[in-house]
Structure 1
Amino acid sequence: MEKKQNFSRKREAILNAVKNTSIHPTAEWVYQTLKPVYPDLSLGTVYRNLAQFKNDGVIVSVGTVNGQERFDGNTQPHTHFICSSCGAVIDIPGEPVSLKSTDEIVRKYHIVVDSIDVQLHGLCEECLQRQTPLK
């Protein structure tokens, strides 16, 4: 009985780690964050739980950034900005595409849209400041 309860606590901790940060963490970040609290936690457990949470729709994948999948606990429609230099992922709140344009696309292509995923790519403020010459 204790093992199942411990598994549930780890599972809840993994979900909370993703939901309680805005950095769009990797599985490795979640693992490193929780390992001091759960010494018997494995990276495989983190990956399996993240995949299940993603399948259940309680978290979303931002995609692969610098070779690692990044996750978001905010499942409300919004856009992500991904810095091409440092890999920072920043939330841009609000609807990514207007409902009117989505309706036009649905009619024109005779499709059903389940979700919209818009990503902006470029340089974040910090990377831009590093590139700006001092005057």
Structure 2
Amino acid sequence: MKTLKYSRQRESIKASLMARHDHPTADALYTSIREEYPNISLGTVYRNLNLLVELGEIQKLTCGDGADHFDADTSPHYHFICKECGQVNDLLLDPMDHINQLAQESTNGLIDGHTIYFYGTCKNCLGNN
């Protein structure tokens, strides 16, 4: 594997993501990173986020709203997505590894993991109705 050159911008993007728990989109991270690096381009943010995903340092979440969200927590965990406001939150559930075995019994392939998103209406949106 090729050695990766250090990048202050990449480190800033990763640090910004690690400080957040709202699972931001690349656009939202771009807005916050611009405060420190006013000349950074949206393309640079996208490239570095995708590189961090490839390196396994962050997760990319495709939640069905048309925009990828990013999560610095790479441990196995689940997410709740509000269908009203689009907010993505971590769920405090233990990993359900038994699902892998159940799925394995239904396929000829090899199951080595799973991703689960739970959809509904968040507390804030319920309060606004």
Equivalent residues, number: 125
CA RMSD of aligned residues (A): 1.8
Report whether the alignment pairs 1:128 with 2:126.
Answer: yes
Note the C-alpha offset of 1:40. 1.7
* Secondary structure, counterpart of 1:120 in structure 2: strand
> Which has the higher Rg, Structure 1 or Structure 2?
1
Is the contact between residue 60 and residue 68 of structure 2 (CA under 8 Å) also seen in structure 1? yes
- Structure 1 length-normalised TM: 0.83
Note the C-alpha offset of 1:109. 1.6
Post-superposition CA distance 1:91-125 (Å, at most 9, x none)? 0023343x333223213423222321000001000
Report whether the alignment pairs 1:62 with 2:71.
Answer: no
Which ranges of structure 1 fall in alignment gaps of 5 or more residues? none
Note the C-alpha offset of 1:69. 1.1
Runs of 4+ in 1 over 3 A off after TM superposition: none
Post-superposition CA distance 1:52-79 (Å, at most 9, x none)? 1111111111214533211111111111
List aligned pairs for 1:1-135, cutoff 5 A.
8-64=7-63, 66-97=65-96, 99-131=97-129
Q: Relative to total residues, which structure has the larger helix share, 1 or 2?
A: 1
Structure 2: how far apart are the matches of 1:66 and 1:12? 27
Which ranges of structure 2 fall in alignment gaps of 5 or more residues? none
Structure 1: how far apart are the matches of 2:85 and 2:29? 19
Q: Which amino acid counterpart does residue 23 of structure 1 have in structure 2?
A: D
Structure 2: how far apart are the matches of 1:85 and 1:108? 34
